[in-house]
Amino acid sequence: MDDHNKVLLFKHTYRDTGRWSLPGGYLKGKEHPKEGLEREIKEESGLVVSADERLKIRTDRDTPRLDIVYSGRFIGGEFIPSSEVMDMGLFSFDELPRLRKDQLIFINKALNEKD
């Protein structure tokens, strides 16, 4: 989130075309999850964030993956589209585009814990 509690969302090239989602990525060997998330966002978009607080660890029931969800702060940078991210946006909770239900739950939890 930015200083106005707007949520950073990406349009990924590999997900449903035109659908927004939370930023994410995969870890490299021996990389801390916070560092991996910050690196992935920088590499994929040119944007700088700080991953501050772990919100949830969960298994993905559709893939052999473990999701680690963080809340954090959008610091800045200049957006540069990449082969993985075609667009970015900062949205207030009331203006969020259509998202997966689990992502809305994570956003709501991050906002509630921020108060």
Q: Is the pTM of this model over 0.75?
A: yes
Helix (H) or strand (E) holding 67: strand 65-77
Cβ(34)–Cβ(49) under 8 Å? no
Q: What share of the chain is helix, strand, coil (3-state, %, to 5)?
A: 25, 35, 35
Domains annotated for the chain, with CATH where assigned, are 7-114 (3.90.79.10)
Rounded-to-integer distance, Cα 66 and Cα 23, Å: 15
CA-closest candidate to residue 9, choices 47, 56, 66: 47
**Angle, CA of 108, 112 and 115, to the nearest 5°:** 145
| Segment 12-65, tens digit of pLDDT | 998 776 689 999 989 999 999 999 999 999 999 999 999 999 999 988 788 888
pLDDT digits (tens, 9 = 90+) for 51-70: 999 999 988 788 888 889 99
